Amino acid sequence: MIKGDLSHNSEVYVTVITENHAGIVRAFQATPPVIVDHTPPDVDKVTVSVEVVKVNITGDLELREDVTVTWSASDETSGINYCTCALGIQTL
């Protein structure tokens, strides 16, 4: 997490310097720089389908529910790192 008053579309260069108990120092620099992005990604083409299937196994009826969700996401400023989907009984 980066805390600070950073303006939108700023480049932040991240360098990590480590030292072990033997005094050996190593530096790592993240490339490319992290872009500060105050805007949400664009999510579209969301489709949801729910299928309820009754399966007769050994004379008992069982229900199976299949939920399929697809979407498209993009972010021209900083790119997309990952997308997640949650399934629940109320909206977030």
Q: Where are the beta strands (DSSP E) in 1-92?
A: 11-12, 15-19, 25-29, 34-35, 42-57, 60-74
Q: Considering the entire predicted model, what is its pTM?
A: 0.51
**What are the beta bridge partners of residue 47?**
70
Q: CB of 42 within 8 A of CB of 74?
A: yes
Q: Give the pLDDT of residue 64.
A: 76
Cα dihedral 71/33/14/39 (nearest 10): -50
Span 17-23, average pLDDT: 96
Q: Give the pLDDT of residue 66.
A: 84
Lowest mean pLDDT among 7-21, 40-54, 74-88: 74-88
CA 36 to chain centre: 16
- Per the prediction, the chain carries an average pLDDT of 85
